[in-house]
């Protein structure tokens, strides 16, 4: 998993440890009355159809909630944290961050699973720093560059944005 900080408290909060770095705060107490605000999310069963939920489901909802109205007061001067593509600089959808591609150990990998999408040669490593996120369009573009190679026996599936075994 990517190292996303989780902070659990019975009550909802307007800032929390790691809030400036996409950290998540999980709370209950309010039952069905409120889903929460951006990255501070009600994980009570009342708002999840009385069933267990996975972290990706929680992250997806947390990313779509409104930033709380007091953010600017409690974190003055801190814009809501965003993640940018290291290739083209566009803002990446926070709902997709855990499914994003990220640079790790000289490879571009699926952030959540560490599956290798492409290997990078030296020049490419200087250009794409460790830990940065990369959008699907950029990865598709890099495949025409000799600095990038797919794992042996793999081809690139543009729809799934990952390397898949040839013939599948
Ligand atoms: Zn990009």
Length of the chain: 168
Interval 123-135: pLDDT, tens:
888 878 888 888 8
**103 and 138 housed in the same domain:** yes
State whether 98 and 161 are in the same domain: yes
Is 47 within a domain?
yes
CA–CA gap between residue 132 and residue 117 (Å, rounded): 14
The answer to whether residue 85 is domain-embedded is no
Where is average pLDDT lowest: 11-15, 109-113, 114-118?
109-113
d(CA 39, CA 61): 8
pLDDT 10s digits, 44-66: 999 999 999 998 889 888 888 88
Domain that holds residue 17: 6-74
From the list 142, 64, 72, 70, the residue with the least C-alpha distance to 101 is: 142
Residue 134 forms part of a structural domain: yes
pLDDT category, 42, cuts 50, 70, 90?
Answer: very high
Ligand 1 midpoint to CA 138 (Å): 4
Q: Are residues 44 and 10 in the same domain?
A: yes
Instruction: Please check whether residue 115 lies inside any domain of the structure.
Output: yes
pLDDT of residue 1: 41
Specify whether the CB–CB gap between 102 and 133 falls below 8 A. yes
Neighbours of ion ligand 1 (CB under 5 A): 85, 87-88, 135, 138
pLDDT of residue 94: 64
């Amino acid at each position: 998993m990517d190292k996303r900080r989780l902070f659990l408290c019975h009550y909802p909060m307007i800032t929390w440890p790691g809030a400036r770095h996409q950290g998540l705060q999980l709370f209950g107490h309010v039952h069905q009355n409120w889903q929460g605000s951006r990255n501070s999310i009600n994980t009570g069963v009342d708002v999840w159809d009385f069933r267990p939920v996975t972290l990706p489901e929680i992250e997806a909802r947390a990313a779509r909630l409104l930033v709380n109205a007091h953010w600017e007061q409690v974190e003055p001067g801190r814009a809501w944290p965003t993640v940018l593509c290291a290739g083209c600089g566009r803002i990446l959808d926070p709902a997709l961050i855990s499914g994003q591609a990220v640079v790790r150990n000289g490879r571009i990998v699926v952030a959540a699973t560490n599956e290798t999408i492409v290997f990078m040669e030296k020049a490419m490593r200087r250009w794409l720093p460790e830990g940065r996120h990369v959008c699907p369009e950029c990865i598709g573009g890099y495949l025409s560059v000799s600095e990038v190679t797919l794992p042996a026996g793999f081809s690139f599936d543009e729809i799934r944005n990952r390397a898949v075994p040839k013939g599948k």
